[in-house]
């Protein structure tokens, strides 16, 4: 008979399932401990990977923020330089203003510092593909390209990352280019006031077309000055370049109509209006010449056109009515690097001036 102690021991003694030996039980416990160890290692690896991913994400987000800050600062500097250049006509003042505005904008908690070499001046023009291309040194200057940078060797230096040392990349470099373009135009209208413009009410049609032209320019965001010259047997300078476009319409309303046709004299007078007074280096110059007839006074119109074009002026030519010399005026437009238009009636003439005005009021962007 078992004693009480033996009975208790038999109860506490582990029992094995049928068919399982002590050796088998030990192996299972060992495998369980191995699985637990492997899971612990996996968890540690995954935790480390998670922390690395978080650190990497933080730096990526910071890099994107810095890039956005640099873009904004560079845009502001370029716009300020372009506006100053258009107003002052002074490249040095434009650079100084651009640098001043850049310093007011922080990139990665440091003011953006620019050098004179970070400002490039040139011209933006419409390409054959329909996009605007910047040409360094192109004339007349209408654009400022600014190189904003946080690079090795730049005044503001590179950008320190938060966790970059983990990846052995403690810093990063970023660079942004912005081109700001301004449009300023001096436009001179050269109109025919010879006696033939009284036929079929043509001069009233011209007054109406020019009224539409000036209204479109007045509503445009482009800074324009407009002048007026006219011709018959002799030429006159009717309105000097002005921002008050109502003066153009007033002069057209008061203009007498008579005499012969001296187109070259009109172009010469338009040239004097264009280049009289303040000379602006960074301005688009456009002359629009209209006639309804054949030149019968003065030198050939092509010679006067060549003189004006040589001074950096684009010339558009318009013929009005069946009796106008289209061949001669096509040649004037070709010499002036402009376009030729023909209008048979007042409705077509108004459309021609509308098309030209809309083209002139287009802002170049890049």
Among the residues of the chain, which ranges form H helices?
4-12, 22-88, 91-103, 202-218, 246-254, 263-275, 301-309, 326-335, 346-360
As a whole number, mean pLDDT of residues 235-261 equals: 97
As a whole number, mean pLDDT of residues 276-297 equals: 86
Per-residue pLDDT tens for 73-125? 999 999 899 888 887 889 999 999 999 999 999 999 999 999 999 999 998 87
- What is the dihedral sign for C-alpha 199, 204, 209, 214? positive
Q: What DSSP string describes 111-146?
A: EPP--GGGEEEEEEEE-TTSSEEEEET-SS--EEEE
Side-chain half-sphere CA neighbours of 195 within 13 A: 5
Q: How confident is the model at residue 133, as a pLDDT?
A: 86
Angle at 237 between CA 231 and CA 242, to 5 degrees: 130
Most confident of 12-16, 43-47, 192-196, 221-225: 192-196
Q: Pseudo-torsion of CA 300, 302, 305, 307, nearest 10°? A: -80
As a whole number, mean pLDDT of residues 340-356 equals: 96
With a pLDDT cut of 90, the percent of the chain lying above it is 62
With a pLDDT cut of 70, the percent of the chain lying above it is 84
Closest C-alpha among 302, 267, 305, 281 to residue 182: 281
pLDDT over threshold 60, residue 274: yes
Q: How confident is the model at residue 52, as a pLDDT?
A: 64
Neighbours of 151 (CB within 10 A): 16
Closest C-alpha among 76, 79, 68, 66 to residue 102: 76
User: Given this structure, which CATH class describes domain 184-360?
Assistant: alpha beta
Residue extents of the structural domains in the chain: 45-181, 184-360
As a whole number, mean pLDDT of residues 216-244 equals: 93
Distance of CA 47 to the CA centre of its chain: 48
191 φ, ψ to 5°?
Answer: -115, 155
What's this model's pTM, rounded to 2 decimal places?
A: 0.67
Q: How confident is the model at residue 219, as a pLDDT?
A: 87
As a whole number, mean pLDDT of residues 148-154 equals: 94
Per-residue pLDDT tens for 30-56? 666 666 666 777 777 777 666 667 766
Distance of CA 292 to the CA centre of its chain: 39
Contact in structure between 294 and 256 (CB atoms under 8 Å): no
pLDDT over threshold 60, residue 13: no
Q: How confident is the model at residue 169, as a pLDDT?
A: 83
Contacts of 305 (CB under 8 A, 6+ apart): 267, 289, 315, 331, 332, 335, 336
Distance of CA 337 to the CA centre of its chain: 23
119-133, 258-272, 304-318, 339-353: segment of lowest average pLDDT: 119-133
How many Å apart are CA 111 and CA 101, to the nearest integer? 10
Most confident of 116-125, 252-261, 351-360: 252-261
Residue 348's pLDDT band (cuts 50, 70, 90) = very high
How many Å apart are CA 218 and CA 40, to the nearest integer? 76
Contacts of 302 (CB under 8 A, 6+ apart): 328, 331, 332, 335
Place of tokens 């990352």: 161
3-state SS class at 308: helix
Peptide bond preceding 17 in cis form (omega within 30 of 0): no
How many Å apart are CA 350 and CA 341, to the nearest integer? 12
Q: How confident is the model at residue 140, as a pLDDT?
A: 83
pLDDT over threshold 70, residue 7: no
Q: How confident is the model at residue 164, as a pLDDT?
A: 72
Residue 128's pLDDT band (cuts 50, 70, 90) = low
Q: How confident is the model at residue 241, as a pLDDT?
A: 96
How many Å apart are CA 303 and CA 319, to the nearest integer? 18
Q: How confident is the model at residue 32, as a pLDDT?
A: 63
């Amino acid at each position: 008979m078992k004693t009480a102690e033996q009975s208790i021991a038999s109860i506490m003694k582990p029992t094995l399932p049928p068919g399982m030996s002590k050796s088998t039980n030990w192996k299972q416990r060992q495998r369980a401990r191995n699985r637990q160890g492997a899971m612990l290692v996996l968890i540690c690896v995954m935790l480390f990977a998670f922390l690395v991913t978080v650190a990497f994400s933080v730096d990526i987000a910071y890099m994107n923020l810095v890039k956005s800050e640099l873009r904004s600062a560079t845009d502001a500097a370029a716009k300020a330089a372009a506006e100053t250049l258009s107003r002052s006509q002074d490249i040095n003042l434009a650079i100084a203003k651009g640098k001043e505005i850049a310093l007011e904008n922080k990139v990665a908690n440091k003011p953006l510092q620019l050098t004179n070499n970070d400002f490039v001046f040139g011209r933006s023009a419409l390409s054959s593909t329909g996009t605007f291309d910047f040409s360094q040194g192109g004339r007349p200057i209408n654009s400022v390209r600014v190189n904003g940078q946080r690079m090795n060797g730049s005044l503001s230096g590179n950008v320190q990352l938060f966790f970059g040392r983990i990846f052995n990349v403690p810093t990063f470099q970023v660079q942004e280019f912005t081109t700001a373009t301004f449009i300023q135009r001096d436009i001179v209208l050269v109109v025919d006031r010879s006696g033939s413009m009284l036929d079929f009410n043509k001069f009233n049609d011209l007054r109406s077309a020019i009224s539409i032209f000036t209204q479109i320019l007045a509503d445009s965001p482009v800074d324009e000055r407009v002048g007026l010259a006219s011709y018959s047997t002799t030429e006159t300078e009717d309105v000097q370049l002005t921002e008050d476009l109502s003066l153009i319409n007033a002069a057209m309303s008061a203009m007498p109509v008579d005499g012969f046709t001296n187109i070259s004299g009109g172009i010469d007078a338009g040239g004097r209006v264009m280049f009289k007074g303040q000379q602006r280096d960074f301005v688009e110059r456009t002359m629009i010449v209209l006639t309804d007839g054949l030149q019968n006074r003065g030198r050939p119109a092509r010679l006067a056109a060549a003189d004006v074009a040589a001074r950096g002026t684009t010339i558009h030519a318009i013929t009005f009515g069946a009796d106008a010399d289209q061949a001669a005026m096509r040649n004037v437009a070709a010499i002036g690097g402009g376009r030729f238009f023909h209008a048979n009636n007042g409705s077509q003439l108004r459309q021609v001036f509308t098309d030209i005005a809309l083209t002139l009021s287009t802002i170049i962007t890049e």
